[in-house]
Structure 1
Amino acid sequence: MPDATPPPSLLDDLLARLRAARLASAQDPFGDPVLLLALAISRRLDDGSLDMDGLEGLVQYLSDDAAAGRAKRLAAYLGHVPGTPPAAALEAVAARLVRPDPLDSPVPFATFKSSVERTCFAAVFTAHPTFSLPAGTGAKLADAATTGEAPPRGLAHRPAPVDLREEFAQANAAILRGRDALDQLAEALFGAARAVWPDRWHTVTPRPVVLTSWVGYDTDGRTDIGWWDTLKLRLDMKRHQLQRLSGQLEPLGEAAAALRARIATALEAVGRQAAAVPVKPDPESVQKLAGEMVLHREAAMTGLSALMPLFDAALAAAPDDAARMQLAVIKAGFAAHGLSLAHTHFRLNSAQLHNALRQRLEITTSPDDLSLRRGLLGQINAALAGVETQTVDFGGLFAEQASAAKLMMSIAQIVKHVDGSIPIRFLIAETETGYTLLAALWLAKHFGVDRHVEISPLFETATALERGERVLDEALRSPHFRDYLRQHGRLCLQFGYSDSGRYVGQLAASYLVERLKLRLAELLKKHGMADLELVLFDTHGESIGRGAHPKSLTDRLDYLFPPQARYALAKAGFAVREESSFQGGDGYMLFGTEALAQSTIARIAEHAFQRPKDTEDPIYAEADYGADFFATVRREFGELVEDPGYAALLGGFGPGLLEKTGSRPSARQSDMGGPLRITHPSQLRAIPNNAILHQVGWLANSLHGLGRAAAANPELFAELRERSPRFARALAMAARAAECSDMGVVRAVIGTLDPGTWLDRAAATARPGRQELLLSVAAPLDAVGLQAPLWRMFRRLQADHLALRAAWPELPTMPERLVLLHALRLSLIHRLWLLAVSVPEFSPRHGATPETVIRRIFALDVEPALELLRQVFPAAPDPVAGLDFHEPAGRDSRTSYAREHAEIFEPMRRLFALVRGCSAAVSQEVGAFG
């Protein structure tokens, strides 16, 4: 009887081959299981047992499975249990605020009121190129996380093109769900208060958590955002807020009639203003805009004063407690956010500030020259003493050339004509000297907005984190800066993990950030500023490798601001407001549905209202060990960054593995066309840098250096992993990184770039004509000469990782399905390269030669190369075919290149699409892009 057992599936067969290859490599350390699997896939394509349709189906299947796993992790990350109403967690938070001990009396009303009316946390929506999924796919993953059901199969997993307007639309959708969740929090707070203080509950205006956005206002590293774009988007945010208010008030009938009428007037005026913003400004269109902004300013409202009395009147006229509750919730959201869906963060680079003051004050001294720093600070302080305020109009804004001045003038016009009720944060990237902060203050005073602007340095680079205390000290020595801070009552600071993670490593960066936060109390007391509120904004991505903790949102918040640091600042008498970024499409998924948004706000509220405690943690008792451990990680990773082999790993074909996931490029372009050959990580932006590490299978910025650090004292390392929550939480970052990393994958990537691999294949092949092609691949790889630095760098990685596994035997490993994805993609790249060297010779075209085209394809810059090849080898049919011209036809002049298109160019296109499809699946497995 024939065997009725169905043949094993393609996936099962490949996984079995991978297991066998891994087992064999345990006995044969010279084998490479990932490359062997890639070769097995290639041979199946050669013998016809596997075709492109089968490969496409396999990549789709793996991508869908990865998406299902990501949806489950998202729900677990937020503590969301499908079927359980998230509002219950918000009610529990509110109940604890009213009565911390269920068996004890409630807190005094004044205590409750002060605790909920002070903003203690802000969720900041940022953009950047992290929209790694089509919006529809992201929505389906969020739905799956909410319901607990698997997302549908056949989803599109590769990123879709995104421009600034699409970034803004996705951010707004997430912010709207966040605002709804904040309303649920406010309702829970009111409900808990009403049960204890039935006559006073509605006199509270809770705003413990707010939302903020820099989408459309962040010009650091971007040239696609003009002042007119910023103004248009800010008017849109105002319009959305007013529309939301109107919709919320609609069911309240006559009690809210006056409010709705005033909002309707404002909406009409804001609509006229937004319609007047030019797509591309010229003097006439800016003149028209100015007329609309000024003429309709009062009707459009520029603050809270026009509506707050109407809210109070509506509350007094409310027919019952249900209507009063609705009005109180709506009023609280309005009071917390002003005339916008979210608060506003502007951002620019310190160099732009320095340039603006060089023009206006003729300060030519470089802020980086330490020998002249004292004189430079004296100059700017003298300028602050005599600064004159300049009136801003739209004509001046149109004519201004300096980026920083243009940004500050935009703020002046927004404050004057759009909304002056909520301060605007002015974030300055790469702040490495106190002069930068004083320069920002001079510019704010010069344009008359110092009362409306919260100046905040971004401490992100290694230099900034090291000098952060000195930077603040330099600024605080200025009486003008101290007066400015007293005027606002707070000091705002931003901490980043992009550049710090790129150059010193994620774990070392977290230590440097915490150390700087802990030193703030002493520094501010030294300058007599102990009564300031501290605003501590941590920015990062939502994935492993960029500073956001992968275990849970609760762990992430404690990782960014450890309980011991919270307690130390509270003990020193400082009120602290925490802020955390939710970045791009990946971060927005935490607000992807109503239930997920409520779970996110619940975890934030639990964290924000957690009373700081003096919890003993052994890592602080072993302060010398902790300092040495993270210093070792930093040193080792810093040496890796300077290793030419590390740049070769990132740049060999790494940028080509990534799709564009936002509205700015991943790397700078070369003058010769095509991508710049990466010779140092600084040539890549931070997010694609980290994304490439995901794609090459080694998250070095979260792993490297830990082996050397752990090996210094393995016993204490193991003890602190068990006993120290702070240390364990940091190492959980490394554990997740290890799940996304595999030495075999890195070895296979390097082997692919090594001409020796291709020579070995050429020696072993028996397939007719294949040896010549394999030799043709080896030659250009040999010319690039990456193999020697790559293998040296690999030995560095391997030695450190072996030391880490010796000290930490339980460290996770990459799951088989993710290893398979990497092997599958390498097989596709190999096939792509074999086709590339099959392209017929052609004469130089637009400066391109066959050699330059092959180099571009080897760097996976495939689409432009294919476009050029389509021009060189047109596939159009012969227009005179079948006609008789009474003479012998010139065969060459009428040749069609349809065969080259069918056998080379179209397969290359499909292969490259699958390469990018695998990259999308890897991003799903890791959990984000960047």
Structure 2
Amino acid sequence: MKSPTVADLSQRLRELHKRTVDTPQFNPVFQLAHDLSRQLEAGELSLDDCEALIAELEVKSLHERAARLECMVAPIPADANEKALAATLRSDDFDAFRASWERPQLHAVFTAHPTFLLTPDQSEAVAREASGGDAVSADCVGGDRPQVTLAYEHGRAMQAIGHAQDARSAIVAQLLRHAKAVWPDKWTDLAPLPFRFASWVGYDMDGRTDITWSNSIGFRLSEKAKRLARYVADLEAIDAGHKLLSELRPASLYALERAQDFTADLSDPAALSVAANRLTAPDPRKLLSLAPYIDRLEAEAASPDDGERAIQLKTLAAAMRADGLGMGWIHFRVNAKQLHNAIRRRVDPDGNLDLASKGAVVHLRRAIEGLTPRRSNFGALAIEASTAIRQFLAMAQILAHVDADAPIRMLIAECEEPATVLAALYFAKLFGIEDKVDISPLFETETALEHGGRFLDELLAEKVYQDYAKVRGRVAIQTGFSDAGRFVGQIPASLAIERLQGRLAQAIHANGLSGDVAALIFNTHGESMGRGAHPAKMADRLDWALSPWAKRRFARAGIPLEPEVSFQGGDGYLWFATPELARALLTRIAVLRPSETDADAPKDSFYQRTDLSLDFYRAVKEHQREHLESATYSRAITAFGLGLLNSTGSRVSRRQSDINADREMSLRQIRAIPHNAILQQLSYPVNVIAGVGTAADGNFEEIGALLSESARGRELMRLVRASNALASVKTVAAYGELFNSAYWSSRPYRGTETHLAEACEALGAYLVKDDRIGVFRRLASRLRVDAMKLHRLFAHVPDEDPVENREEKRRMIGVLQALRIALLQAMFIRAVSVPAFSRANDVSRDDVLEMVFTLRVDEALAQLRRAYPRHFPRIDRFDLTEPTDWPDGGDEGYEAIHRDYIDPIERAHALNLRITTAIANIFGAHG
């Protein structure tokens, strides 16, 4: 019998869907999976055939990702982008032009959450196609996935930042040419700074203990060497004999040598002393500031000379001003608990101080006011036990011996109390670096969002914080959509975050800081469509993080705004994977101007009709909370553990404190990225879609009218529609059927598949008490009821950006899901068919079965291989004088068990993980 093609399966799925008209409970995805499973077990379909089908779908999914990438940043050609930017440049007022371009339109942070979904070959193929090159081919699928190490992540981040820097320089040069043409007598006064770049790769300590302080120092030195080398290359292109090259070249080499020092094992105090003394010793090649070089380049550009040379020199000076002695600014990150532990050692050794109290704020204020800065060195850094204090010591050494000018961000995760920020300020002042460190609390938990307004009011009222903010010239906060979206849902999280941003504007203004500070708001994305993966518009991606309503609050209060967003991991780096894509993306952002807004724009009805919008928000949030607190939802989402997901980063997907926790995983043990990814793999982004329909129940027309007439409402609904367009309640239910005892026990009924009777009987008996079939059915029922209400709401809200080729994409996902469920059935059948073995090391056969059912496949295979080795120790390897007749040569290992059971399980699981990547590509997911 001929093996089916992807087209055959897609057509079959279309036909099966028609049957739902007559039998609403009929499940087309599971039926197709059952058909494939029967062919597989009958020998009519092989794993080779399955791999060929999956490979074809992988290539199609990569085409989808490339098309979406191109759509979001188009046009791609450099000349088209130059024209697009030129059309927005004003020519009437030089001072206004300067004001627009001498403050960053956006800070872009290159982070390394576990989002390296694609292999390097796949990333390059997608970027090449999106950039107008050759289409993705089958050559890039099926290969080995590289291990995602911290060094790998750092290397990819530096590559992306390099392309971003080149794209920014092209934009800067265009701004300078425009200014020169329009204001020939003033243009040399222009110092463009349209974008700043930063990274936390190698500096983020939240939730991990595998990054040492020497890693961070080594990374910073390597970045310094790389950036200096890039400055050298840029200056050589302008003038190969330029005098500054004789200083910049040795400085780059010196930084590289010091970086190599810090890659060594520095656990020995003697080794550390050598490396540290080399770095701290005076050396003519040691640069700590680029200010003199920037001044010399600017002065040279201002002298009468060839105009294009002057533009190139000022462009290089602009790059130095933006990046300093590194590939960009850096972000350290710690958890609030780490700071609490550290501050208690200093100001509350007896543990009597409640850091959530007003007394703690008063106590810390007095402690900060009375501080005398302390000197520190690398020895102090090496012996410091506290993670939080160690980060401040590392920052002090970087500012003293690597780059004295570029400020450093200190991000505080799970920050819920003003005292936590004051604790960070205490340590910054203790080590004499408070004038160079931007302390940034992260608001992402439900508690932080609910009480964030009070937090900001109290913090900004503190004089010690006001004095600090004035010195820094900014108030910095971070708002995270990932954990917020996980715990309160993406729609209510977005609305809660924008209200918090508005409260920041209010608090700055109320405390008389409007004329003294800017607001730097770092938004780390995390939406379930895929880490900032909005479906159609770059404007939506930017507005989602910082809405026009929030921006108007700052504009009306006269507070300059510095928006900052993250581009996360390998797939987030796709925006910068080629010079063409980087130029196109930065041009789109420059044209959209996310730091600016019209303070006099008409008010959005969503914020005026709070009688409707607040009730809508609360109802969606409550519905999301019900899911999160539901044992049904938790059990369904964790039914396969993290086994549906590829490893996509160096940071673990389960929180490190939970590694030794019980086998039954809870939602709070799973990080936000894998939680979102599991929802995509089950084909229903619950934390985007769920609750929106229910929130409008009984008031569809009025809610629909509000959402339709409101720009913000339409934006919310665009994300909901795009998620819903790819969602499938039937697929959620199909996964439950894998654990349906009745399905397995009746599969060989009426004499079909008699060769599977024993395995199916065993599965039926094993699963008779399993709760997962009921769990998935209950979840699917809840989702279906809510979805019916959502479709009633859709009837009252226009579909502004319908998903292109929606049905084709849905069938692609449906075929992939059916293939996966068929492969899971094959794994279950083989796992239950392995001959029984004796309990070893407290692991029984049933334990191994449960490992397979929860997709802890590597663990299961390790146990099976131990129980059934391929080869036994051979007697002829011993050189003994005494003869033996045993073993008699009849026992050569369990080769047949490996061939028939163990190897097919391993291969099927590997194919499942390739399906994971394909589904994520269609969703546009990062992670």
Shorter-chain TM-score tier = over 0.9
- Cα shift at 1:895: 4.5
Q: Is 1:25 aligned to 2:23, yes or no?
A: no
Q: Distance in 2 between matches of 1:618 and 1:364?
A: 53
State the match for 1:553 in structure 2. 538
Query: Aligned to 2:837, which of 823, 839, 842?
Result: 842
Matches within 5 A, 1:185-264: 185-253=171-239, 257-264=242-249
Q: What CA distance in whole angstroms lies between the structure 2 residues aligned with 1:725 and 1:230?
A: 43
**Which range moved further: 797-806 or 890-899?**
890-899
Tell me the equivalent position of 2:479.
495
Select 2:737's aligned residue among 715, 737, 751: 751
Q: Indicate if the aligned counterparts of 2:738 and 2:773 stay in contact, CA closer than 8 A.
A: no
Residue 833 and residue 451 in structure 1: after superposition, are their counterparts in 2 closer, same or farther (change >3 A)?
same
Matches of 1:179 and 1:543, distance apart in 2: 29
* 1:393 Cα deviation after fit: 0.3
**1:774 lines up with 2:760 in the alignment:** yes
1:241-275 deviations in Å (ceiling 9; x for gaps): 10000001113336x62211110121232122112
User: Is the 2:251–2:287 Cα contact (8 Å) retained in structure 1?
Assistant: yes
Q: Does 1:821 align with 2:816?
A: yes
Other structure's SS at 2:643 match: helix
From 35, 41, 63, give the equivalent of 1:40: 35
Pick closer, same or farther for the CA change 1:141–1:545 going to 2, 3 Å: closer
Paired letter, 1:276: D
Decide whether aligned partners of structure 1 residues 742 and 419 sit closer, same or farther in structure 2, where only a CA change above 3 A counts. Answer: same
Distance in 1, matches of 2:659 and 2:794, equals 47
Which residue number corresponds to residue 316 of structure 2? 330
Residues 880/489 of structure 1: CA separation in 2 closer, same or farther (3 Å cut) = closer
Residues 260 and 301 from structure 1, CA distance in 2 versus in 1: closer, same or farther, beyond 3 angstroms?
Answer: same
Q: Distance in 2 between matches of 1:395 and 1:196?
A: 56
Contact 2:509-2:557 within 8 A present in 1 as well: no
Q: What amino acid sits opposite 2:479 in the alignment?
A: F
Counterpart CA distance in 2 for 1:818 and 1:686 is: 23
Contact 1:490 1:533 in 2 (8 A): yes
Q: 2:441, 2:478 within 8 Å by CA — same for their partners in 1?
A: yes
Distance 1:878 1:396 in 2: 53
**What is the aligned counterpart of 2:126 among 141, 146, 149?**
141
Q: Decide which of 475, 493, 507 is 1:523's aligned counterpart.
A: 507
Q: Alpha-carbon deviations, 1:416-468, whole Å to 9, x = none?
A: 00012121111111110101111110011111110010011111111111111
The answer to whether the Cα contact below 8 Å between 1:494 and 1:538 also exists between their aligned partners in 2 is: yes
Residues 563-602 of structure 1: matches in 2 within 5 Å?
A: 563-602=548-587
- Match of 1:49, SS state, is coil
Determine which of 621, 630, 653 is the counterpart of 1:643: 630
**What residue in structure 1 maps to residue 653 of structure 2?**
666
Deviation at 1:633, TM superposition (A): 0.7
1:797-836 C-alpha deviation (Å, 9 max, x unpaired): 2211121122225797761111110111011001101000
Aligned with 2:197: secondary structure?
Answer: strand
CA distance in 2 between counterparts of 1:269 and 1:318 reads 35
Give the deviation of 1:22 after TM superposition.
Answer: 1.3
The 1:782–1:303 alpha-carbon spacing in structure 2 relative to 1, beyond 3 Å, is farther
Matched length: 910
Q: 1:557 offset after TM fit, Å?
A: 0.8
CA 1:58–1:292 in structure 2 vs 1: closer, same or farther (change >3 Å)?
same
TM (normalized to structure 2)? 0.94
How many angstroms apart in 1 are the aligned matches of 2:617 and 2:561? 26
1:306-705 to 2 correspondence within 5 Å? 306-315=292-301, 319-362=305-348, 373-531=357-515, 532-541=517-526, 544-608=529-593, 611-612=597-598, 613-668=600-655, 677-705=663-691
Specify the alignment match of 2:101 in structure 1.
116
SS of residue matched to 2:650: coil
Q: Which moved more, 1:199-208 or 1:681-690?
A: 199-208
Q: 1:318 offset after TM fit, Å?
A: 7.7
Counterpart CA distance in 2 for 1:537 and 1:330 is 27
Judge conservation of contact 2:482–2:527 (CA < 8 Å) in 1: no
Instruction: Tell me the residue number matched to 2:70.
Output: 75
Name 2:727's counterpart in structure 1.
741
**8 A Cα contact 1:535 1:578, kept in partner:** yes
Q: Does the 8 A contact of 1:434 with 1:473 survive in 2?
A: no
Q: Secondary structure at the match of 2:165?
A: helix
1:324–1:583: structure 2 CA closer, same or farther, 3 Å change rule? same
How many angstroms does 1:617 deviate by?
2.6
Aligned residue number for residue 102 of structure 1: none
Q: Check whether the contact 1:87–1:184 (CA below 8 A) recurs between aligned residues.
A: no
> How far apart are residue 284 of structure 1 and its match?
1.1
Does 1:866 pair with 2:861?
yes
Distance 1:672 1:319 in 2: 64
Q: What's the C-alpha RMSD, in Å, of the aligned pairs?
A: 2.6
1:286 to partner: Cα distance? 1.3
Change in CA separation of 1:344 and 1:740 when aligned onto 2, cut-off 3 Å = same
CA deviation vs aligned residue, 1:555-587 (integer Å, no higher than 9, x gap): 211222222322232122111111111000111
Look up the match of 1:927.
924
Deviation at 1:8, TM superposition (A): 9.2
Mapped contact 1:541–1:583 kept (Cα < 8 A)? no
- Residue 287 (structure 1) aligned with residue 273 (structure 2): yes
Deviations 1:217-238 (A, max 9, x none): 1111111111100011111111
Deviation at 1:181?
Answer: 0.5
Query: Which deviates more from structure 2 when the two are superposed, residues 12-21 or residues 400-409?
Result: 12-21
AA aligned to 2:912 is V
Q: CA deviation at 1:384?
A: 1.3
More divergent stretch after superposition (541-550 vs 859-868): 541-550
606-615 or 515-524, larger mean C-alpha shift: 606-615
Distance in 2 between residues matched to 1:554 and 1:297, nearest whole Å: 48
Distance 1:31 1:611 in 2: 51
How does the TM-score come out when normalised to structure 1? 0.93
Amino acid at match of 1:918: I
Tell me: CA distance 1:461–1:536, structure 2 relative to 1, closer, same or farther (3 Å). Answer: same
Give the conservation status (yes or no) of the 8 Å contact 1:780–1:855.
no
Deviates more, 1:544-553 or 1:725-734: 544-553
Unaligned runs of 5+ in 1: 1-5, 100-105
The DSSP-based 3-state class of the residue aligned with 1:346 is: strand
> How far apart in 1 are the matches of 2:129 and 2:659?
46
Moved more, 759-768 or 481-490: 759-768
Question: 1-side partners of 2:655 and 2:500: how far apart?
Answer: 32
- 2:61 maps to 66
Superposition deviation, residue 474 in structure 1: 2.2
Between the aligned partners of 1:503 and 1:214, the Cα distance in structure 2 is 24
Q: Say whether the 8 Å CA contact 2:439–2:476 is kept in structure 1.
A: yes
Shift of 1:176: 0.4
Structure 2 counterpart of 1:89? 81
Matches within 5 A, 1:875-914: 875-876=870-871, 879=874, 894-914=891-911
Letter in 1 for 2:632: G
Matches of 2:261 and 2:480, distance apart in 1: 37
Deviations 1:653-688 (A, max 9, x none): 141011111002212589998x95444310101111
